[in-house]
Structure 1
Amino acid sequence: MLLLLLLTNAFVLLPWAGAGRIIGGREAVAHSRPYMAFLKIKNATKTSRCGGFLIRPDAVLSAAHCVDKKGTVRVTVILGAHNVNRREPNQQKIPVEKWVIHPKYSRKGFINDIVLLKLKKKAKITENVRYISFAKENERVRVGALCRVSGWGRTSLNPPASDVLREVELKVQKEKICQKFSKYFQPQSMICVGDENRKKATYKGDSGGPLVCKNKAYGIVSRGYDDPLFPKAFTRISYFEPWIRKQLRRFAIQDIPGSPSSD
């Protein structure tokens, strides 16, 4: 019992906890979230996972901290998946050709935690692979709104992560709740989200997935604070919508034969 208490306290006292797993949620109906993308991220030392979501046949949005790794990083996106440890016939496995991290992204406080990934080839749009619309500039989700988050992250404070896609319903909270936990919380570019009863949350492995309200993506799973379960700061998509549109136009230009690269 003493060991259990010590382990529990160790989690509570962590200065930062990733916002990456679905806790207290449920297994999603297979292929009911056709916009979901599973990101397999490899560098020289390890392989990690994140979520993401398709916003165009050749483009996926995710969290910048997912690809902010040392050394050479390779990212592969799996679309149309339910169980990521099986070769399901609906899956499309596509390497990422390049990605653009927001120029003002900061590891400290996970500020501007957003990345746009360009797929090496366009996804084939099917019943199980579809893109989702996202919030426009100045389009905000109201406090108290119930939104859904999906992911393949952990289902408890301990490993392993989930093989199957899970989902949880979370409430948009008042900004001052997250501001109490961190001086880095920025209301204009972040959304405060969570379950006040600490029975439901996202955690490690779900980072990069979308906060979906009324069938539209409003946020991106980004970070947590001292308490591993509540609250969480999500990247506010509407704030970055002009930047996203600009990058998508650049992607389109680069697809024209003979066009110069933006690198």
Structure 2
Amino acid sequence: MLLLLLISSAFVLPWAGAGRIIGGKEVKRHSRPYMAFLEIQVSNQSVPKTYNCGGFLIRPDAVLSAAHCVAKEGRVRVTVTLGAHNVRVRERSQQRIHVRDWVIHPKYSPGDLKNDIVLLKLKPRARINENVKFISIPSSRERVREGTKCKVAGWGWTSVEGPSSNVMMEVEQEVQTEDICQQQFKCKYQPQSMICVADEDSEKAPFHGDSGGPLVCNRKAHGIVSYGPQRSILPAVFTRISYFEPWIRKELRKFALQELPGSPSSD
């Protein structure tokens, strides 16, 4: 997927609601069993809208994604589809789960997309099988290095004009020096909590609809698709998962406690 941006380079553009990897190729069916397709329905006083985002399974009861995907004004309903390759048909491998609870990072900032991370609680839990599996995340001490080759998958736009892809697409990306994103996004880019990523040929990237998907490096999810510039597809900025690992673990412990009989959130 190519990350396409619709605002000027002086600003950042989240990629929620758009749909495809630019310059990518279709992946082998069910070869990325951790991938999640998010349908976000937003109802308010105006016409209801539907957005699509990516996400990824990190535990049978938890999916990680970008906060900007669900941080909308109005009533928000989220449905997660696991085990999908073609999201426009009902495949036997698919598991559709209506998400009732999610936790947005308390310091998420919609203006500059700092702390752009959300944890979705799945109930019922995902059924782990050959088509649905979770992916590991790095510890707080791990930091993906400049030059590392990574991959980004999703169902987002395949060109700047759209439309979104029905099948899962993927592109290879490379972790860049922090200077590239600092020059592009100025103070909006925070090296400790973000990762700067690009394609060496400047022709491949995630774009609309790919928000929330994982940056997979060395078989771990190191980043979350967050934002990019308006008039180009590169560089792309990803939420750095290792920075948020302590917060993720804390929230996952809360998920476990809520499942105990007699807890406020248990049925």
Same fold by TM-score greater than 0.5: yes
Using the alignment, how far apart are the partners of 1:195 and 1:12 within structure 2? 20
Partner of 1:26: 25
Q: Which of 74, 77, 82 lines up with 2:80 in the alignment?
A: 77
User: In the alignment, what sits opposite 1:128?
Assistant: 131
How many residues are treated as equivalent by the alignment? 253
Q: Deviations over 1:32-79 (max 9, x none)?
A: 000000000001120110000000001000000000111110000000
Is this contact kept in 1: 2:259–2:265, CA < 8 A? no
Q: Does structure 1 residue 231 correspond to structure 2 residue 231?
A: no
State the distance in 2 between where 1:11 and 1:150 align: 20
- Native 8 Å contact 2:7 2:229 kept in 1: no
- Is 2:85–2:167's contact at 8 Å kept on the other side of the alignment? yes
Q: CA deviation at 1:16?
A: 3.4
Superposed displacement of residue 198, structure 1: 1.7
Matched, 1:159 2:155: no
Q: For 2:232 and 2:91, how far apart are their aligned partners in 1? A: 33
Identity, % of aligned pairs?
62
1:257 deviates by 1.3
Aligned partners of 1:196 and 1:230 also within 8 Å: no
TM-score normalised by L of structure 2? 0.91
Quote how far apart the aligned CAs of 1:11 are.
5.3
Tell me how far apart the structure 2 counterparts of residues 232 and 252 of structure 1 sit (CA, whole Å): 34
Task: Please state whether the residue corresponding to 2:188 is helix, strand or coil.
Answer: coil
Is 1:31–1:82's contact at 8 Å kept on the other side of the alignment?
yes
- Show the 5 A alignment for 1:1-263: 13=8, 15-19=11-15, 21-44=20-43, 45-182=48-185, 183-261=187-265
SS in 2 for 1:93: strand
Q: TM-score, normalised by structure 1?
A: 0.93
Moved over 6 A (4+): none
Q: Structure 1: state its 5+ residue gaps.
A: 1-9
Kindly state the Cα deviation for residue 261 of structure 1 after the two structures are TM-superposed: 4.3
Preserved CA contact (<8 Å) 1:17 1:203: no
Instruction: Give the letter aligned to residue 17 of structure 1.
Output: L
